Structure 1
């Protein structure tokens, strides 16, 4: 499985800074959405996770699940896919960014800058 590894060149860092390796992995299409959904909703089967993620294709979901498992952020077992303690730490670390994103969205709404060009 080809996932970013700390200490090896990754997108945005030739030295493989650990946070850049994590951002590389989480920045892949649907990676954060899958982790976020599992952390908020609890264990899920592939089909239920696909439904919860709405527009993710089965192929992309399968790839992201494999990558997140290889990274140690999720596991698969009885009851389906679930976040690991490490995955839960990642989810909790993202909570402050989630709060800032809501503030940012509100500010954009107030200034009328939410429309895309």
Structure 2
């Protein structure tokens, strides 16, 4: 039988145990979370620049994700007013780099134009069904 989460631990989607990997995957699986981390990997960005980099994501959703990422210790508000990655946030982004390299190789070898991103531009919004 699985251990129940500590009463102080907030329950997360997909896990009643509060296991760290499930908490992390829940956070990173939320809309725009990974994109925000990815866009901040190079340098801090203001809210406006980050919103532009995130294809004009809703300001409400963007602020909600920034708040969650700040609470998680991955993002911090810089003295100049922009958002940047913390040391922990940079470490997390580094763990994505092998996956990023793999994705680039996979995309170039994929026989599917849809999976290569053709026909809608890179980073474009998904087509509505």
TM-score, structure 2 as length reference? 0.74
Partner in structure 2 of residue 96 of structure 1: 98
Partner in structure 1 of residue 3 of structure 2: none
Cα distance 1:114–1:9, how it changes in 2: closer, same or farther (>3 A)? farther
Helix, strand or coil at the partner of 1:33 = helix
Q: Figure out how many residues of one structure are paired with residues of the other and give that number.
A: 107
Higher relative contact order (CA 8 A, sep 6+): 1
Helix, strand or coil at the partner of 1:23 = helix
State whether structure 2 residue 23 is matched by structure 1 residue 24: no
> Which has the higher Rg, Structure 1 or Structure 2?
2
Partner in structure 1 of residue 6 of structure 2: none
For structure 2, list consecutive stretches of 5 or more residues without a partner in the other structure: 1-8, 116-129
Matches within 5 A, 1:42-61: 42-61=43-62
State whether structure 2 residue 106 is matched by structure 1 residue 114: no
Partner in structure 2 of residue 84 of structure 1: 86
CA contact (8 A) 1:8 1:14 kept: no
CA contact (8 A) 2:44 2:78 kept: no
TM-score, structure 1 as length reference? 0.81
Partner in structure 1 of residue 76 of structure 2: 75
More helix by share: 1
User: Take 1:99 and 1:57, find their aligned partners in 2: how far apart are those partners?
Assistant: 29
